[in-house]
Structure 1
Amino acid sequence: MKNLLTLLIISFLGFSALTYANPVVDKPMAEMQQPPVININSADSEMLSTLPGIGKKKAQAIVDYRAENGEFTELSDLANVKGIGKKLVAKLEGKVSL
């Protein structure tokens, strides 16, 4: 009985130490690390392909469009790139900069 009580106390102490030792639990969601914002006017195709909905082909299309037409002046200009529509542009809001 004494061994069982000792085991329960040790288990409780170990569990509570694990619960309170995690610093991520104490941080608000806003303070958690956010993915970096990617500049669509300077990023290479590899960096652009990390964006949601942008694969290697679309990333290269962005780079090619930028080379032919100059820098993007508005986020909505991305919709002029072949394979990128308004819905995808909306998904990228907050994830890209100019």
Structure 2
Amino acid sequence: MPSTPTLALIALGLIVLIVIAIRVIRSLRRFARARTLVGDGLGNGVGLLKARSAALKVAIAGRRPREQARTRANSAYDRRSGADRRITNG
């Protein structure tokens, strides 16, 4: 009967392994939930910052005289060559 202690140790090892695996899986689920919440909050903050930045650009562009309104916010302004792509009748 020398195999009985060996079988008991194998069974005990499997039980301990299962308990550890369950705890690790639970911890990973909690971490995934926390990561999702943090990512969503960060994404919302970045979105609000972009919206505020765009609103500020619009407000600044609205305060400039018409001649100086050729900025990156103007879609008729060609950013690469600096040329005005608006079609004129003159």
Q: TM-score, normalised by structure 1?
A: 0.38
Q: Quick check: which one's strand share is greater?
A: 1
- TM-score where L is the length of structure 2: 0.40
Q: Which structure would you say has the larger RCO, counting Cα contacts within 8 Å and 6 or more residues apart?
A: 1
| Higher-helix-fraction structure | 2
